[in-house]
Structure 1
Amino acid sequence: MKKNQQEIEIPFLLALVPLIIMIATMAITIIVFEGSPHVPLAIGAIVAGVIAWRLGYKWQTIEEGAYKGIRLALPAILIIIVVGMIIASWIGGGVIATMIYYGLQIITPSLFLMTICIICGVVALAIGSSWSTMGTIGVAGMGIGISMGIPAAMVAGAVISGSYFGDKMSPLSDTTNLAAGITNTNLFEHIKHMMYTTVPGLVIALIVYFFLGRQFGGTAIDQENIQGILSALDSNFIISPWLLLVPAAIVVLVAMKVPALPALIIGVFLGFMCQIFVQGGNVGDAVNTLHDGFVIVSGNEMVDELFNRGGIASMMFTVSLTIFAMVLGGILEQTGMLKAIVEQILKVAKSAGSLIVATIVSAFFTNATASEQYISILLPGRMYATAYQDKGLHSKNLSRALEDGGTLTSPFIPWNTCGVFILATLAVHPFAYAPYAVLNYTVPIIGIIMALVGYKVQFLTEDELTKLKATQQRIDRENEMTEGT
């Protein structure tokens, strides 16, 4: 039975049908109905299953493909859940409040665009969310920048660049964990490898903002919004530089090569203890914070929006979306549909560099068609995983390419969920801020150039390749045993 199914070849155009239907329903669901991408992914999975069944695949094989996809995502799901706990505990413990409090005080009028980019980067790095950063600090920055006579598009571009830099480099970010988990890459290796494209992108962005901002340097700054945030933080949290030791401890653990999950769990514990012994909360509230997230009524709308978040419950949207996407990806992979699609792409992308370029372009194309940045990571991540292994490429090349082409390009698509969110939040159209979101378009370009010249393209060592093959053989044996029962 298995041999006959393995011999079934799905034509390239037929393999595209589930993706085309998924993309069409995704566009209607998100753009027209303003719904979530879960149902379109489920529809795509159903269509893929029906096509495979009609071509001769047994239901057991199709079902196993769905389960296999979910199993591959379990490490990422576990880390995403822990990230929800660490966000909540760091907010409850006053760690994030302290980082924002000191960060906001470095604003100077002559360097506003540079400063707001850096501040958004620090905040997003601390909380792991570009959306929350743009919706709070970004909104405040828009008001301040416009009051100084700086065009709204310039301010929005600086806010977006900083927010996405922090989000991309944060171990608390769901997209960062998703890219690492879906490619089976160590989280901190993934972040370290992204530095080669992202840090130069940030430097270029800051240089551009420095020269753009010089013409506005003589304008007086309205401190009212900033002072309102600082007062709210000071009134509701104990602010202390000692709390900065918590994120510093995580940095030390990372430097000591402690695995991501234990390091993040220690971060949860430290934040939990800070909420009790520094902020004066009780154990019951601290426990509830880990699950439900932190709750605050400060009297300042921006502060409330930024700090009412976190917890295990807040990550269930991302977890469920990951499961639906991996069910689709698992069926496409198990039935040979992904293979049929990738084979067509690999006819052009024959070298390691061109494969990385194809990944970046595919992630951007997914952003433009599926209208969701999570899908731009999940779908190409499964499509190209085997191709990277076949060429002996380390998985961190794939995870970085997914972020370069997926996470960072999502704000440029007006109908993408990120583009829609930014338009609603910052009141600037994506086509207007696009030239000034410097980091978001320089990083993919840097990634493509580095891939083509072969710089920082990491290949697997002989030992790593042997271990990878052994792991793959073990998984194949387990799948064969499962299918045989």
Structure 2
Amino acid sequence: MGDKKELSKKEIPLFWALLPLIIMIASMIITIIFLEQGPHIPLIIGTTVAALVAWKQGFKWAELEEMMYKGIKLALPAIVIIILVGLIIGSWIGGGVVGTMIYYGLQIITPSFFLVTITLICIVVSLAIGSSWSTMGTIGVAGMGIGLSMGIPAPIIAGAVISGAYFGDKMSPLSDTTNLASGLTNTDLFDHIKHMFFTTIPGILIALIVYGIIGMNYKDSNIDTASIQQTLSVLEESFTISPWLLLIPVAVIVLVALKVPAIPSLVIGILLGTLSQVFIQGDTLAEAIASLQSGYIIETGNEMVDNLFNRGGLDSMMYTVSMTIVAMTFGGILEFSGMLQSIMNQIIKLAKSTGSLIATTILACFTTNATCSEQYISIVVPARMFASTYRKKGLHSKNLSRALEDGGTLTSVFVPWNTCGVFILGTLGVGAMEYAPYAVLNYVVPILSIIYAFIGFTIQKLSEEEIAELDRMDELKELEELQTTTN
């Protein structure tokens, strides 16, 4: 802006700050539950009401536009990943990579241990690449095919995939949310990860036990082996199956493990999948490009195989991309107009003790996930709002960074209109309300985090030396700002 005004400095009365959220949520409930339509229009209604409220509070149209653009800009990295995941699904299905993973998975994995196995595989992959979305879009899609062939319901499979994928998204030093939470709170990255061990390791162990118990209901004797054999036959007829094709996902994992950025690594995976479709599966270049654009198309006569493999491509992700853009226009106005800050200020008043402060932080993260529909904002906004409060209470920043991930990163999957919920629906084909009971890690960890907060377990206090160092850094920062202003 020409006058350099900070957009987020206005004080918005609580009633007016809540009004867009109330109207958006009400319209969301009516649209999704009663009209059985998508979440885009309710978010547009919420954005319109938010813009009108901000205009009433004195913001000009040019400022409102800037708020929306700033919100969308925050989501651009996620949009790029969404597009690449659509391309990689299309190319890996067309190239026979997914078919090969399913083919060998059906022969190696037993139904009673499948849920535990797919969770562990997703853990390893997501730790290596640092991305839950990429893990779900590749290993997760193959896992859905294997599990469905074994007669395991889709919501249960999706829950196991999500738990495994989000473990790595939360604990990998390559994860964007892990780096975001530690960076915003000025916490050493590996101190942040170590502090998350106390909630995340018990959480995943509980999840694995639950999946082990559920898996016992799907023993070999209860499985239609004829159906599995038929699926194997269909895969052999439809694709060239070769263990060499497994080198493609391995190559992507190795690249990211070698600290090649996620985007170029995924692009290489897309290229390898496309080459495989042309030179190994024998499709034409036009068919390979069609798989990238509109997804792979196959008609085998086997309903399960057709439903699983007719997917992917750039077009399939446009619903999620448009959803992300709409959500971020809404979130942008809420954040940069100061509405979200007004709401957070009221939430902070609930934080009287250390336990209530951390519980309130987690609640704020979930609230932001539900209202702004974006995982990144659920970390960014509470980090800004709560940092000084943690400092005043003498709490180490790693407590805040852990709470941000426990409450922000993990709970995003439970909101159907959040970009994470929409992505999972588009990728795994299961809605948030269906898989929610089975995404065990994602709700156990926030609960453990709150329990720890109230009993004081693993809550790290600042030492006198650390407080003195922080005070010194604040003085240096103030001096630098004063010199900059003078110059």
Q: TM-score category by the smaller chain?
A: 0.7 to 0.9
Paired residues of 1:353 and 1:453 also in contact (CA < 8 A): no
Matches of 1:319 and 1:22 in 2, distance apart?
Answer: 20
Instruction: For residues 416-454 of structure 1, give each alpha carbon's deviation from its aligned partner in whole angstroms, at most 9, with x where no partner exists.
Output: 989999xx979xx969x94x6644532333454577645
Q: Which amino acid aligns with 1:232?
A: V
Structure 1 residue 336, shift from structure 2 partner: 0.9
In the other structure, the counterpart of 2:292 is: 290
Of the three residues 159, 165, 171, the one matched with 2:157 is 159
Matches of 2:78 and 2:330 in 1, distance apart?
Answer: 17
1:29-428 counterparts in 2 under 5 A?
29-108=31-110, 112-119=111-118, 127-128=136-137, 137-141=146-150, 144=151, 158-168=156-166, 196=197, 200-211=202-213, 219=221, 221-349=223-351, 357-362=359-364, 364=366, 375=373, 377=375, 380-381=378-379, 383-387=381-385, 398=404, 401-407=407-413, 409=414
Matches of 1:444 and 1:292 in 2, distance apart?
Answer: 38
SS of the residue corresponding to residue 341 of structure 1 reads: helix
Paired residues of 2:145 and 2:308 also in contact (CA < 8 A): yes
Q: Which amino acid aligns with 1:99?
A: M
Matches of 2:76 and 2:347 in 1, distance apart?
Answer: 28
Structure 1 residue 135, shift from structure 2 partner: 7.0
1:352–1:65 distance in 2 versus 1, CA, 3 Å: farther
SS of the residue corresponding to residue 410 of structure 2 reads: helix
1:379–1:225 distance in 2 versus 1, CA, 3 Å: farther
In the other structure, the counterpart of 2:126 is: none
SS of the residue corresponding to residue 128 of structure 1 reads: helix
Structure 1 residue 282, shift from structure 2 partner: 1.9
1:177–1:376 distance in 2 versus 1, CA, 3 Å: same
Paired residues of 1:294 and 1:311 also in contact (CA < 8 A): yes
1:183–1:65 distance in 2 versus 1, CA, 3 Å: farther
SS of the residue corresponding to residue 325 of structure 1 reads: helix
- Equivalent pairs, count: 429
Matches of 2:280 and 2:48 in 1, distance apart?
Answer: 51
SS of the residue corresponding to residue 105 of structure 1 reads: helix
Matches of 1:4 and 1:437 in 2, distance apart?
Answer: 40
Instruction: For residues 365-405 of structure 1, give each alpha carbon's deviation from its aligned partner in whole angstroms, at most 9, with x where no partner exists.
Output: 578x77xxx92636634542523666666978745632322
- Higher mean alpha-carbon deviation, 229-238 vs 203-212, is at 203-212
Structure 1 residue 228, shift from structure 2 partner: 2.1
Paired residues of 2:335 and 2:341 also in contact (CA < 8 A): yes
- Higher mean alpha-carbon deviation, 158-167 vs 244-253, is at 158-167
- In the superposition, the TM-score normalised over structure 2's length comes to 0.72
Structure 1 residue 139, shift from structure 2 partner: 4.3
Paired residues of 2:50 and 2:333 also in contact (CA < 8 A): yes
Instruction: For residues 79-106 of structure 1, give each alpha carbon's deviation from its aligned partner in whole angstroms, at most 9, with x where no partner exists.
Output: 2111111111111111111111111223
Gaps of 5+ in 1: 146-154, 474-485
1:320–1:342 distance in 2 versus 1, CA, 3 Å: same
Paired residues of 1:246 and 1:271 also in contact (CA < 8 A): yes
Gaps of 5+ in 2: 123-132, 391-396, 482-487
Q: Which amino acid aligns with 1:401?
A: G
- Higher mean alpha-carbon deviation, 124-133 vs 90-99, is at 124-133
Structure 1 residue 326, shift from structure 2 partner: 0.8
Matches of 2:266 and 2:300 in 1, distance apart?
Answer: 28
